[in-house]
Amino acid sequence: MPRLTKRTVDGAVPRNTDYFLWDEEIPGFGLRVLRTGIKSYVIQYRAGGRTRRYSFSHHGVMTPEEARRTARELLVAVHRGENPSEEARLQRLAPTMAALCDRFMDEHVRQRCKPSTQGEYRRAVELFIKPEIGAHKVLDVTRADIARLHHKARDIPYQANRTLGVLSKLFNLAEVWGLRPDGSNPCRHVRKYPEQKRERFLSAEELGRLAAALDAAEADGSESVHVIAAIRLLILTGCRLGEIQTLKWEHVHPGHLALPDSKTGAKKVYLGEAAMAVLAAVPRLPGNPYVICGAVDGQHLKEIQRPWRRLRMRAGLPDLRIHDLRHSFASAAVGMGESLPMIGKLLGHTQVQTTARYAHLADDPLRASSERVSAALAARMKGQAAG
The confidence score (pLDDT) of residue 271 equals 87
What are the start and end residues of each CATH 3.30.160.390 domain in the chain?
6-93
- Fold adopted by 6-93: Double Stranded RNA Binding Domain (3.30.160)
Confidence of residue 287 (pLDDT cuts 50, 70, 90): very high
Q: Which of 94-108, 113-127, 176-190, 255-269 has the lowest mean pLDDT?
A: 255-269
The confidence score (pLDDT) of residue 371 equals 73
184 with 170: CB under 8 angstroms?
no
The confidence score (pLDDT) of residue 200 equals 79
Give 343 or 372, the one with higher predicted confidence.
372
Give the integer Cα–Cα distance in Å for 29 and 292. 73
What are the start and end residues of each CATH 1.10.443.10 domain in the chain?
204-358
The confidence score (pLDDT) of residue 385 equals 55
- The CATH number assigned to the domain with range 97-176 reads 1.10.150
- The count of C-alpha atoms lying within 13 angstroms of the C-alpha of 15, restricted to the half-sphere facing its C-beta, is 9
What are the start and end residues of each CATH 1.10.150 domain in the chain?
97-176
> In sequence order, what are the residues at sequence separation of 6 or more whose Cβ sits closer than 8 angstroms to the Cβ of residue 270?
255, 256, 346
The three state secondary structure string of the chain is CCCCCHHHHHHCCCCCCCEEEECCCCCCEEEEECCCCCEEEEEEEEECCEEEEEEEEEECCECHHHHHHHHHHHHHHHHCCCCHHHHHHHHHHCCEHHHHHHHHHHHHHHHHCCHHHHHHHHHHHHHHHHHHHCCCEHHHCCHHHHHHHHHHCCCCHHHHHHHHHHHHHHHHHHHHCCCCCCCCCCCCCCCCCCCCCCCCCCCHHHHHHHHHHHHHHHHHCCCCHHHHHHHHHHHHHCCCHHHHHCCEHHHEECCEEEEEEECCEEEEEECCHHHHHHHHHCCCCCCCCECCECCCCCCECCCCHHHHHHHHHHCCCCCCCCHHHHHHHHHHHHHCCCCHHHHHHHHCCCCHHHHHCCHHHHHHHHHHHHHHHHHHHHHHHHHHHHC
Give the integer Cα–Cα distance in Å for 154 and 143. 17
Put simply, whether the predicted model's pTM sits higher than 0.85 gets the answer no
Give 288 or 355, the one with higher predicted confidence.
288
Confidence of residue 53 (pLDDT cuts 50, 70, 90): very high
Q: The domain 204-358 is classified under which CATH number: 1.10.443.10, 2.40.30.10, 2.40.10.10, 3.40.50.300?
A: 1.10.443.10
Mean pLDDT across the chain: 88
pLDDT at 352 over 60: no
